[in-house]
Structure formats: C-alpha cells, structure tokens
Amino acid sequence: MNDQTATRHGRRRPDRRSGTEATRDDSNDVPGLAARQAAAKLLAAVIDARTPLDGLTDHDHGHPGFRALDMRDRALVRATLATALRYRGTIARLIARRLERPLPPNAHQLSHVLHVAAAQILFLDIPDSAAVDLAVTHAKSDPRTARFSGLVNGVLRGIARDKADALPAELDRQDDAPEWFRDRLAAAYGASKARAILAAHRVEAPVDFTVKSNPERWALAFGGIVLPTGSVRVERLATGVTELPGFADGAWWVQDAAASLPARLLGDVARQRVADLCAAPGGKTAQLVLAGAEVTALDSSRNRLKRLDENLQRLRLPATLAEGDALKYEPDAPFDAVLVDAPCSSTGTVRRHPDVPWTKAPEDIAKLADLQSRLLASAARMVRPGGRLVFSNCSLDPAEGELLVAAFLAEHPEVALDPIQPGEVAGADPFIVSNGTIRTTPADLDLGRPEISGLDGFFAARFLCLP
Ligand SMILES: C[S@@+](CC[C@H](N)C(=O)[O-])C[C@H]1O[C@@H](n2cnc3c(N)ncnc32)[C@H](O)[C@@H]1O
C-alpha cells in the first residue's frame, strides 16, 4: 500500500511486509521505509544537533537521505516532521504512557523512531498498521534500535488503539513546545494569550501574497481573500506558488501580511534614497521599489543576495544591490530613510517553521538581541537629519523588540520614537500598541473578520533621526 495516498478510512489491503520478519536494512526493498529512516535522521538533526529544518529539506542542498527520496516521499517526510515537531509534547506523553519505565536518556534513535511513527498514527492519513509495521522494520534495520523492536511494536499498537480516548485530553494541555519557549511567551503575553499563540502554532499558516496592483483580481484568481492590509490570503494552496498565474510575469510575491507592514511605515518614499540594510530575500526591498524609492539593498550573505537578485528580476523591480556587513557599511551620502529588518530568533514564524523552538535557546535570543541593537545603532548613523528609520523583525520575544527599543532610545538621544498613528497604514491599526510601535502575533485574529487566521509574529518601531 502506498501510504502517501492512503486515507485513514480507505480500504486496507493485507500488509505482506511482515515487519517482524525483517532483520536487515532493507530500505531499498520495503516501500516507505527509506522515508521513515530519513524522517528519523532529520528529527535527530533538529532535536539533538539543533539543525534548522529548512536546510535539511532543501531539494538541492539538503540532507542526502532526504535528497535520495522521490518527491512524494519528500513530501511525506516534510509532513511527518512538521507534525512531529508541532505536537512534540503531546506525542512524547502518549509514548510515555505506554512505557513501563522511561526510555534511557541516551536512547535518542529509539525515541526518534517512535516519534516519527506516532506522528503518523495520531495526525496523518496513514493506516495505523502500515505506520506500526514500518516502524518495527525501521527499528530492526538499525543496530541501535534492533533489540527494541518488540517495544516499538507494543507502544505504537497501544497508541493506535487508544488514540480516540487519549488524544483529546493530551492536546488540551497545550504544551507541545519546549518549556523555555512556553515560559517566555507566558512572561511576555500572559498565560491566556500565550496559550492562544501556542494553539496557533499547531496550525499550518496560510499563504499571503503582496500584489503589485488589483488585489481583488488576484484574490479571485487564487481563490483567496483580500485582507485589510491589502495582502491576498489563500488558506490552502492546491499547487506550488511557481505554478500560479502571474508568477512568471512578476505580478506578486509571497509575503506574510505582517511582514508587509514595516516597509510601509516609512511613509511616502517616492524618489527618496532608501537603504534596506538586511534585505534578502527581498520582500521589503520589492515593496520599497514599487513605492517609487531608489533602494540600496544590502545583505551580508552572498547566497541570499543572489536570491534577492533573482526575485527582483522576476518582479522587474530594480534596486542597487550591495554585499556587506551593515555594522561596517559606509554609504557615500546619508539616506532619506533606512529599514533594518534584522536577523532574529524567528519565533514569530513557528507556524511555518515548527523547528524554531527546538533549534533556538534563550542564549540565542540574547545574542541576537545584542546584534540587533548594534545594527540599529549603525543604521541610525546612515540616516540624514530629519530622516526616518524603521526597525523590525519576526520575533515574538520582547528582548528582540520592545525591550531592545526602550534601551536603544535611552542610549541614543539623537533619535526619537516616531509613533505610528491610527489610520496611517491600511490594516495596521489593531496592531499598534500604546507607545506607537507595532506588535503582531499568530493569535491576532482581530482583522475585523473572524474567519481570517492569524499573522506571523512581528515587531516594528519607527524613529525620527533628529536634526
Ligand atoms: C530577516 S532576514 C531579512 C528579510 C528581508 N528583509 C525580507 O523582507 O525579505 C535578515 C537578513 O539579514 C542578513 N544579515 C544578517 N546579519 C547582517 C549584517 N551584519 N549585515 C547585513 N545583513 C545581515 C541575513 O543574511 C538575512 O538575509
């Protein structure tokens, strides 16, 4: 049976792959086994080595075990990993309930085999029998787990048998993310909002598009809606974005509605010299060029700048590109306006990148906040007197947003906060907080339309560089 196309309610053929008979690594002979093995390896890379999932599942440069799979198996691996990470706490507890004693702390591989199969049994449309049998074969194929194949069989069969009764209560506990992350969200947003954010993190994000013109037309073409911010939102895409109409013509680009706000905070930039200091892959550069600015797009990563170049060429939106470190960059003349969309913990994008809470740690947030403060100070030196500066990032953590800005203002009397005013930027009013900065979270549904799901977590502040 092909488990990618099988549905939970589909007809089940007798499984002739008697997993309990397998004693060797027969990943080439057993359909679906290579995908399970790749999923467990990638889960190990994320959980044990804190390697970001995006790079591991890149079609050209990803993990060799992933690249060896055909496209359908790659899709299965991606879906399995996203699910295993989104529901990691729930899955761990359901596994633990089936064990007489906890797994030894060094039984990492066994844990990954169980998590991959349990994610499929609990949340994916894969027949339980196929998921269990393949997990047993998988365990037997690896000397580190072979002697636990009986345990794998027993635990997973138990989970499959009890899931209708046991799953709802475990899901209700809403503690799938690591403790440090849950604690920081609760400290920043309070228990109730933190819970809502964590609930939103379980749901795959919609796809938002920034369109050059006529959002209603594109919403109709894509089967989506126009958000109050002007972005076009499609809850679930039936095809890849490159197959959508308008892609080759450069009529639009993918950009979360929250990510479209910072560039617009610079106001009317037509004919102004604007620097986008952390520019790649270029969503905000494209907005600024479209708004008529002469944009210098700087980024320290050559590869990412190459992607920005390709994106702007497709969009037919010209900018001056520069590879360099924004901490050292010295423009020929000060800019009228500068945008710093700083590298951050990306905790606002967990819906799209469920590995983030598992690959980042509080120390990373502290380091990134320090880098961001230095980038902001460097950016302020590049703005002409009277010019505007916008700082933004896709972190949910106040250390990278609200607290950082308060400290920056205290240390830089030559810069003043320029509060964002209600009515200034379409769709942004619900996200303006009391001091005139912007904060969005995936739990913000207050777009005036209850059917619209949330936004990426973003922070943005605008400053005036005093004459
Ligand atoms: C959050 S991404 C920017 C996203 C981009 N603004 C957009 O809207 O598509 C941060 C970018 O900052 C770049 N970066 C990191 N440190 C930098 C530095 N010191 N100078 C310039 N760019 C830097 C990274 O390479 C990365 O492309």
Cβ–ligand 1 contact at 348 (below 6 Å): no
Which of 277, 285, 299, 314 most suits a substitution to test ligand 1, by most atoms within 8 Å of the C-beta?
299
CA dist., res. 385 & res. 295, Å (int) = 19
In ligand 1, the atom with minimum distance to the C-alpha of 343 is: 10
Model pLDDT, residue 454: 87
What the block records as the tokens of 303 is 């590869």
Specify the residue with its C-alpha closest to ligand 1, atom 25. 301
DSSP state of 387: E
pLDDT the model gives residue 12: 31
Burial of 348 (0-12, 13-18, 19+ CB in 10 A): buried
Q: What is the pLDDT along the chain (467 residues), one digit of tens a residue?
A: 333 333 333 323 333 333 333 444 555 678 899 999 999 999 999 999 999 999 999 999 999 999 999 999 999 999 999 999 999 999 999 999 999 999 988 899 999 999 999 999 999 999 999 999 999 999 999 999 999 999 999 999 999 999 999 999 999 988 899 999 999 999 999 999 999 999 999 998 999 999 999 999 999 999 999 999 999 999 889 899 999 999 999 999 999 999 999 999 999 999 999 999 999 999 999 999 999 999 999 999 999 999 999 999 999 999 999 999 999 999 999 999 999 999 999 999 999 999 999 999 999 999 999 999 999 999 999 999 999 999 999 999 999 999 999 999 999 999 999 999 999 999 999 999 999 999 999 998 655 555 567 899 999 999 999 98
Verify whether ligand 1 is closer than 6 Å to residue 303 (CB atom).
Answer: no
What φ, ψ does residue 10 adopt, rounded to 5°? -75, 165
Q: Which two tokens stand for residue 31?
A: 């359909």
Q: What is the rounded (10 degree) CA torsion for 318, 323, 326, 332?
A: -70
Q: Report the pLDDT value the prediction gives residue 21, as an integer from 0 to 100.
A: 37
How do 383-393 and 335-341 pair as beta strands?
parallel
Does residue 301 have its Cβ closer than 6 Å to ligand 1? yes
pTM above 0.85, yes or no: yes
Phi, psi of 395 (to 5 degrees): -100, 150
What residues are labeled active site?
Answer: 394
Q: Does residue 113 contact residue 152 with C-beta atoms inside 8 Å?
A: yes
Quick one: pLDDT at residue 467? 87
300 lines ligand 1 (CB under 6 A): yes
Residues 390, 461 contacting (CB under 8 angstroms): yes
Minimal-distance CA residue to ligand 1 atom 13: 278
**DSSP E strand stretches across 119-221:** 207-211
Residue nearest to atom 11 of ligand 1 (CA): 278
Return the SS3 of 385: strand
